[in-house]
Structure 1
Amino acid sequence: MKGGNMGNMMKQMQKMQKKMMAAQEELHEMSFESSAGGGMVTVVANGKKEITDVQIKEDVVDPDDVEMLQDLILTATNDVIKQIDDKTNETMGQFTQGMNMPGMF
């Protein structure tokens, strides 16, 4: 391999790395939302998988049925995390497509 080719390859790798970092930062700033129970429970998270808001409608708060409320919160939370994972795989997968790099994203 000639030195010029290696230099070009390194420049391309650096360019791709900058694009990956920008895409990752953009993902981290995104907001994801999921509801359960017909909107009775809503969970909002950012792309870092940090829960930023939980909204619970008063109608769903029943002291005699706490398990239902817990289930709704779990459902909404798990769904919002899946949305983040799916978006991350979709966005970051473009950088690893065709590469055999186990453990990447």
Structure 2
Amino acid sequence: MLVVTTEKIEGYEIKEVKGACYGLVVRSRGFAGQVTASLRSLVGGEIKEYTQLLEDARKQALDRMTKNAHAMGANAIIMFRFDSGEIGQNMSEIVAYGTAVVAEKSDQQ
């Protein structure tokens, strides 16, 4: 599945717009990870436990979004974006979203 941040795909023609598609993930760090991250935050620098958590959550949200678009009959996603937020003190929400489309290779190249 093609996934782009632009509204057009170079070399392709948008034949049909299927609609908005998204993938949502809410993750929480386990107790041990929270303690380790809290201790790391006292000395400063990167908090690798949270970096890995958010990296994994983005990958999962992207995967869910592409599955959603595929279920809609799309073969590409345009205008792709990530958004994130916090729920409570220890949960992160990540959403991947875009517009599901059917794209075909353009004859003009």
TM-score class, shorter-chain normalisation, is 0.3 to 0.5
Relative contact order higher in (CA < 8 Å, ≥ 6 apart):
2
Higher-Rg member (1/2): 1
Q: Normalising by structure 2, what TM-score? A: 0.35
Q: Normalising by structure 1, what TM-score? A: 0.36
